[in-house]
Structure 1
Amino acid sequence: MTKPRIGVIISSTRDTRFADKPAGWLMEKVKDHPDLAFELVDLRDQDLPFFNEPASNLWMPSSDPRAVAWQEKLAGFDGFVFVVAEYNRSITGALKNALDQAYKEWNRKPFAALAYGSLGGARALEHLRLIGIELQMVPLRNAVHIGGGDFFTVSPLGANGPMSEIEGHLEGSLKAMLEELTWWARTLQTARS
């Protein structure tokens, strides 16, 4: 069995987004992971239209080649980590659109999250978990949350410090998340095959 491939999806597409800093930190932490292979997937680079198909690709093939390319990209992954920005107590519109552009490519795959915001992106992640259940994904319990004082320590809205200033607070949750993701990615990869 090959090493499970995990897509790390940056969910914010704003020019002034904060996501690049925690995503860069995460990719540095997982670059030599012994059991999982990680690839950064930036929604900015996907050229996705607003969902405008007659139905989900569960029911009929998508006609827009950009949506089909997105579906093909997702099909190559065995799981996901979403870098989740909280916008008005939920996920970004760009992430919701990206989720809606596929269906069967998400099925029976685990997902974890690195969420951020004043409350650690917790409300957005709860919404994402509900969406993931409908897409027949396996939302994981463990996640990394950057919130409160830690968020304002590293965010441009606060001191804009380096991630190294707060990583001691995040490493325990990162370890737990990666252990859980490894187990589910391997288990579901085997079951899907």
Structure 2
Amino acid sequence: MTPSKPRHSRDQVLKDHAQQMLSRSSISVQKFACRLNAILFAQIDEQLLAARKVPNLEQINEGPVEVFMTQSGNWLKRVQRWLSADVDFPSWLEESWVQALDPEYGERCIVELAARYGLVAAREAGSDGCPVSAFGQLVTRLGDAVTKCGQVLADGQIDAKDRPYLPAAIETLRFVESRSFEIRRGMENELSAHVELERHAFV
């Protein structure tokens, strides 16, 4: 999978990863639009969304079919305009947009956005309830990193000849950084908690 080009804006990164998902998976634009709509209403106050003219499709679905078809069609067109950059991408949409992506694409999007600010895209500890899962992903990513970096470092240096391999190698290393930091932070948090308990025990 190819990361968005460095010259792209934050908005373009969000749209690029959605477009990659739509072109490489079985997810349709309509399904993505419905998923995005549901996540928006789960995360943002309904009155704020109403002010932004976002229809509550789940609620409308309980009414007349004609109304639902009209409203869902209008929402689909709106999402399509965001995807095609026909209109400005609103900042209030960003978080829900990422969460509406399939996990693989959402994670790639977050990793790329974080890297643009020199950050590591680590999930909150326990976000999936299983640190072993994060470790399994780390092992997988390490294998990918060995392969991708091996292509770059085959001649013992990094130079212009390696440019075709660099994007994939960089992306894989970012994933390794992300999972490593996630696991390390979980361990540090646990260690800090026990140190704090021991400190209070001797006070």
Do the structures match in fold with TM over 0.5? no
Larger radius of gyration: 2
TM range (shorter): under 0.3
> Higher helix share goes to which structure?
2
